[in-house]
Amino acid sequence: MKSISLYVDKDTCLTRLHPFAKMFYILAAVSAPLIGGALWIYGLFLAISLCLLISGKIIRKVFPLIAFSFTIIITIFLIHGLFNQENQKVLFHLGPLVFYEEGLLYAARIGLNILNMLLAFATFVLTTKPADLVDDLEQAGFSPRFGYMISSVFQIIPQMMGTMNTIMDAQRSRGMETEGSLFVRAKAFIPLISPVVSSSLINTRERAIALEVRGFDSKNKKTFLREHKLAGKDKTFMLLMALLIAGSIVWRVLTWL
């Protein structure tokens, strides 16, 4: 059966790491640079994320995401490098364009923050089975509804992409032009998007019925096939992340003194 999540099945240390440890890494990767405020802290977590992705053998899966984010980051650099209201010190000229140091530093923080969050979430999404995450959340005492909500977030994007590809193939077989100029693509958008939306609504209803049949709202205590507890390596990893957060707090305090 084809998976409808972004999970990549690789037998690596990152894949075997407990989902809660990877969630704690996201917390550290997002909060520590924001607390510390220094560009080198962003760079540190970018390096950690890249090392994790390489060790998890999923770095190639992230390349399209990085390429897409660069189009946004370049736009941010252009806007703030040229027009930021704090701009005062000229850094360099590019033909008639004048770039300022203040705006470029501000854009660098935004750009590094975007990359940092994308890579941190990629380490979690690409190496965590949604079913395992839901089981772990329920074992930790969370509501099954919360677990289902998290699982749906993981699955909705690949599911809609698969539905879109199926509908595009069906429309092409009927003679519809779906590739070519911008006008041709825009013309095919409505006939494509309507079946995708209706199909998603139907799938949601069918999933709700399936959950009811399987006793989703049952008040009886559930048992689990696998008890997945935090191992020693998971606790060590989380401790290291906690130390990095504490270090960023200390750094921020020192910069204020």
Q: Nearest CA to 106 among 88, 74, 72, 81?
A: 81
Cα 81 from Cα 48, distance rounded (Å)? 28
Task: Residue 81: count other Cβ atoms within 10 Å of its Cβ.
Answer: 24
pLDDT for 2 equals 45
- What mean pLDDT comes out for the span 161-179? 74
Count of alpha carbons within 13 angstroms of residue 114, beta-carbon side:
18
pLDDT for 257 equals 73
Is the pLDDT at 142 greater than 90? The verdict is no
Is the pLDDT at 45 greater than 90? The verdict is yes
Q: Which residues contact 146 (CB under 8 A, 6 or more apart)?
A: 137
Q: What is the pTM of this model?
A: 0.76
Among residues of the chain, what percentage have pLDDT more than 90?
A: 37
- What mean pLDDT comes out for the span 128-139? 82
- Residue 97 — φ and ψ, nearest 5°? -90, 135
pLDDT for 237 equals 95
Q: Convert the pLDDT of each residue in 59-81 to its tens digit.
A: 988 888 888 788 889 999 999 99
| Ranges 147-151, 163-167, 168-172: which has the least confidence | 147-151
Q: Nearest CA to 41 among 125, 127, 108, 137?
A: 108
Q: Which residues contact 44 (CB under 8 A, 6 or more apart)?
A: 244
